[in-house]
Amino acid sequence: METNRSDASRLRNMPWRPPLELAHAANEWVLAEDAVPVFESLLALHDAQLAIVPLHKIISAERRLMWRDNLDERPHLV
């Protein structure tokens, strides 16, 4: 599902906030104990991918994400 500007504005003005946004605002990130090994595996995979990808590809991807962020959209993480 794609989020357009009006959807993002509507979500931002709602009385509740998504869990990732709350964690970021509170500067408190907590993982359930059974999720820790999965998260560690994900981070190891991410590090391995970064180790082999050319730097210009990483910079290009980062710019695309920042561009989307400036359009008031968030990358789809799920």
pLDDT value of position 67: 76
**Tens of pLDDT along 6-63?**
555 655 665 666 777 777 788 887 888 998 999 999 999 999 999 999 999 999 988 8
Question: Could you give the residue ranges of the DSSP H alpha helices within 1-78?
Answer: 5-12, 19-26, 36-52, 55-70
- State both tokens at 54: 């050319």
pTM of the prediction?
Answer: 0.47
pLDDT of residue 43: 94
Q: What is the DSSP letter of 53?
A: S
So what's the pLDDT on residue 25? 82
